[in-house]
Amino acid sequence: MTGAVCLAGALCMAGGAASTAHAGSNWDFPLSSGYDIYVHDYFLAESDTTEVIQEFNFTAAANGSSEFSARNRWFMRAGLSGGTELYRQSLDTGFRLRNKERHEWLRGDLLMLARQFREGSEYSLSSNNHEGRMTGALSPWTTDNMAVELRARGRYVNYERPSTLEVDYVDGSAGAYLRSPSRSFRTWRVGGLYTARDYPDSGAIDREGFILEGDYDHGRLEGVLRAYHRSERRNIADPDARPSAWFHWTELDTAHPTSRAEVVLRASSEVWDYDEASGAWYDSWQLGGQAGARWGDPLNTRVETLITAEHLEAGDEPETYWQTGLRVGAETLKPELSGSISIEVGRRWYRNSTDDPDSFALEYTDYSYLAFWLMGNWMINEHFSVDVTANFEPESHTEQDDNITLGYGSLRLVWRP
């Protein structure tokens, strides 16, 4: 802990010394210190087991970007973090080139992340690792209404000690899209993508995918229409290790303003269709929906009530379930205090599978759940703010041994010199 405090002092001094803005660019050097706690409570062998991971850390960041009004732009965000559990480094940088009409014709992005765990870390997965992601997109043809975009991406994840839980991989993708112009208030895109992923230590699950997707987003302060669809064909190198499959994912999110309230309707659908279903891989169709209303000023304080429902159809598999709940929430977006709080209570019913005790089939037990969610940001003054995040989700099953509780809390003090 003494070391952590010394590190905090050093970072504060560094941040304080380097907080001057430079001409022609914008720079910002925030410092933050925070406390995170993760709680898992579940049944193991003969008794309940509670796993708690606590982490106290300090983070220093440097955020730079070109002038916002510049035609060609760049940005860079670098971060260093040291804590009681691990050290982290991150670099997120990119550029945008625009033509005379200020339409973007070329962009590049690079994201690098690295983590080193301290000796005796409480994290169960503690192999040091680093990962990178690079994207390039060229728009050879743009008009005021649309643009053609050719895109390529590469990514890797590397662990110091790879294992079944910490798997190295490399993947890449390339595709073409027709999209809205970069400065449009309403965004949309439609296109196709080819992807390939290689697992150096387990070639049997190497895969390639052919994707068609479309996206529409028109968000107003009051009123939203957002739609997304993706269809994918995924081929696995060894279908005996994991079957190849078709996948279809659709999401719709609408909020329609009326004189009394904003009517919210959301729907989602996910379909997995395997060539040969087996083990963890079975055909399924998950349907979700939310319906309700919210009241208040979108830029001030707002409350909402939603009825939620979900159904997983998995044929004869025991996972088939129905779920319904009621969610109430409130959010405030005041300049000095912003945040949201929500509570959902509900129940999930499973289709019972088998009465044969020697069957390999898995059994699920019905449960009631409560989901509490809190996010908040308090601007103490121009330089200091406090961020709070908390999540608590206990499940109460008809079979007590199946009870699970998930919890997460984070408290962070941020200083922007």
Using the rule CB under 8 A, give the single segment among 6-14, 88-96, 140-148, 257-265 that binds other proteins.
Answer: 88-96
Q: Whole-angstrom Cα distance, residue 237 to residue 215? A: 30
Minimum distance from residue 308 beta carbon to other proteins (Å) = 13
* Residue 382 contacts other proteins per CB under 8 A: no
Q: Binding residue for other proteins (CB under 8 A) from 208, 310, 363, 366?
A: 363
Minimum distance from residue 401 beta carbon to other proteins (Å) = 7
* Residue 242 contacts other proteins per CB under 8 A: yes
Q: Binding residue for other proteins (CB under 8 A) from 31, 115, 236, 348?
A: 115
* Residue 224 contacts other proteins per CB under 8 A: yes
Minimum distance from residue 20 beta carbon to other proteins (Å) = 20
* Residue 403 contacts other proteins per CB under 8 A: no
Q: Binding residue for other proteins (CB under 8 A) from 25, 65, 128, 235?
A: 65
Q: Whole-angstrom Cα distance, residue 29 to residue 415? A: 9
Minimum distance from residue 6 beta carbon to other proteins (Å) = 24
Q: Residues in contact with other proteins, total (CB under 8 A)?
A: 78
Which residue's entry shows tokens 């979108």?
Answer: 298
* Residue 56 contacts other proteins per CB under 8 A: no
Residue in 265, 264, 263, 269 with CA at minimum distance from that of residue 251: 269
The interface with other proteins within residues 3-32 (CB under 8 A) comprises none
* Residue 256 contacts other proteins per CB under 8 A: no
Cα→Cα distances 298→61, 216, 266, 304, Å: 31, 21, 18, 11
Minimum distance from residue 163 beta carbon to other proteins (Å) = 9
Q: Binding residue for other proteins (CB under 8 A) from 15, 83, 94, 292?
A: 94
The residue count of the chain comes to: 417
Give the residue with the Cβ less far from other proteins, 56 or 228: 228
Minimum distance from residue 139 beta carbon to other proteins (Å) = 13
Q: Binding residue for other proteins (CB under 8 A) from 20, 185, 240, 381?
A: 185
Minimum distance from residue 227 beta carbon to other proteins (Å) = 13
Give the residue with the Cβ less far from other proteins, 6 or 347: 347
Residues 6+ apart with CB under 8 A from 4: 56, 57, 58, 82, 83, 84
Q: Whole-angstrom Cα distance, residue 280 to residue 242? A: 9
Minimum distance from residue 339 beta carbon to other proteins (Å) = 9
Minimum distance from residue 244 beta carbon to other proteins (Å) = 14
Residue in 315, 249, 317 with CA at minimum distance from that of residue 287: 249
* Residue 246 contacts other proteins per CB under 8 A: no
Using the rule CB under 8 A, give the single segment among 1-9, 16-24, 258-266, 394-402 that binds other proteins.
Answer: 394-402
* Residue 123 contacts other proteins per CB under 8 A: yes
* Residue 270 contacts other proteins per CB under 8 A: yes
The interface with other proteins within residues 287-326 (CB under 8 A) comprises 297-301, 319
